[in-house]
Amino acid sequence: MAERVGSRTDLSQTVFGVTFHSPVLLASGTCGYGQEYADLIPLDDIGGIVTKAVSVEPRVGNPPHRVAETPGGMINAIGLENVGLEVFRNEKLPWLDRALERAQVLVNVVGRSADEYEAVVSGLDAEQGFLGYEINVSCPNVKGGTMFGTDEAVLGGLVRRLRRATERPLVIKLTPNVADVGVFAKICESEGADGLSAINTFPGMVVDIDRRVPLIGNGSGGISGPAILPMGVYATWRVRQSCELPIIGIGGIRNGADAMQYILAGACLVQVGTASFVDPNAAVDVHAGIAAYLERSEVDSLAELVGGLAFPAARK
């Protein structure tokens, strides 16, 4: 598909030492560990997948309801339910290694402490089947989930420690829930991160007015989907201004035009999350939409457009 669609254009992006044949990845938590999606779309047609968060121990997650539709998107409070390091390493990773030829894999990592983050990274580092890590310091749906992403000193210490633990690509997934995401991006760069994902969900709440209780079992949850597209694009642009690291743009992407906003704002790769729940083929369509944009614009290579946003100098 990736070649057939837009065959005259080059959508590949060379980043983290490898070439992604497509700039479109599936976002963490919205495609399981890849296997769940394998019957729905040809995973090698897209650039890659980001796994569900992996923690040291398995987690059961939050009580129901865990998801609900919201205006222009959805709320989720899954609570980082996952199989844990051992099952991921022994069952999920070998499947990814066997099943994927071209699609790259980033493992999303979460922990309650720096020790736990490091234990996951150290426990996986010698294995095959994945490129690197996306470090989730930005989950609003569990107690302390954003602690690592909203405190400058804590974030810096975590990145420094993980940098020592691995030579693989280390991508930090930023939370938009701070005054200036650019400050946090700069810290990650200074401490040796290889890239940044922007952004995770925004905290939100839905009230069940008949029962007069929060609809979501956890009380609050993370808002994703089209409603957060402009915030994600803004965060990407702020990050681009504050540091040189490659950026993976995330939030509300449904089509090629949405993805192009992120790319012009400075992202070299994008992730598709909530849109896949509406149409499992969304990521493949986003790829085709980017190709169509390039053809329409008579641009041969996507790389030429990364960060190509013209902006009045006075507003920078």
Ligand X SMILES: Cc1cc2nc3c(=O)[nH]c(=O)nc-3n(C[C@H](O)[C@H](O)[C@H](O)COP(=O)(O)O)c2cc1C
Positions annotated as catalytic residues are 139
Counting other chains too, the contacts that 34-37 makes at CB distance below 8 Å and 24 or more residues apart are: 34/92, 34/95, 34/96, 34/99, 34/100, 34/105, 35/92, 35/95, 35/96, 35/99, 37/276, 37/280
Min CB(173)–ligand X separation in Å: 5
Output 200 or 218, the one with its CB closest to ligand X: 200
Min CB(192)–ligand X separation in Å: 20
**Options 120-128, 184-192, 208-216, 267-275: segment touching ligand X (CB under 6 A):** 267-275
Output 13 or 70, the one with its CB closest to ligand X: 70
If one asks whether residue 274 binds ligand X (CB under 6 A), the answer comes out as yes
Closest C-alpha to 99, from 145, 41, 22? 41
If one asks whether residue 261 binds ligand X (CB under 6 A), the answer comes out as no
Output 9 or 138, the one with its CB closest to ligand X: 138
**Options 145-153, 159-167, 270-278, 299-307: segment touching ligand X (CB under 6 A):** 270-278
- d(Cα 39, Cα 69) in Å, to the nearest integer? 25
Query: Measured at CB, which residue is nearest to ligand X?
Result: 29
Q: Which of residues 135-164 bind ligand X (CB under 6 A)?
A: 136, 139
Output 188 or 253, the one with its CB closest to ligand X: 253
Min CB(158)–ligand X separation in Å: 14
Binding map of ligand X across residues 162-201, x = CB under 6 A, - = no contact: -----------x--------------------------xx
**Options 35-43, 118-126, 147-155, 268-276: segment touching ligand X (CB under 6 A):** 268-276
Min CB(300)–ligand X separation in Å: 28
If one asks whether residue 62 binds ligand X (CB under 6 A), the answer comes out as no
Output 9 or 77, the one with its CB closest to ligand X: 77
Residue whose token pair is 């400075």? 266
| CA 110 to each of CA 66, 245, 292, 311: distance values in angstroms, whole numbers, following the listed order | 19, 21, 37, 36
**C-beta neighbour count of 304 within 10 angstroms:** 11
Output 100 or 198, the one with its CB closest to ligand X: 198
Residue 154 near residue 175, CB atoms below 8 Å: no
Residue 74 near residue 52, CB atoms below 8 Å: no
| Number of residues binding to ligand X, judged by CB under 6 A | 26
Binding map of ligand X across residues 72-101, x = CB under 6 A, - = no contact: ----x-x-x---------------------
Q: Which of residues 199-258 bind ligand X (CB under 6 A)?
A: 200-201, 224-225, 228, 250-253
**Options 3-11, 238-246, 269-277, 298-306: segment touching ligand X (CB under 6 A):** 269-277
- d(Cα 75, Cα 274) in Å, to the nearest integer? 10
Residues that bind ligand X (CB under 6 A): 27-30, 52-53, 76, 78, 80, 108, 136, 139, 173, 200-201, 224-225, 228, 250-253, 272-275
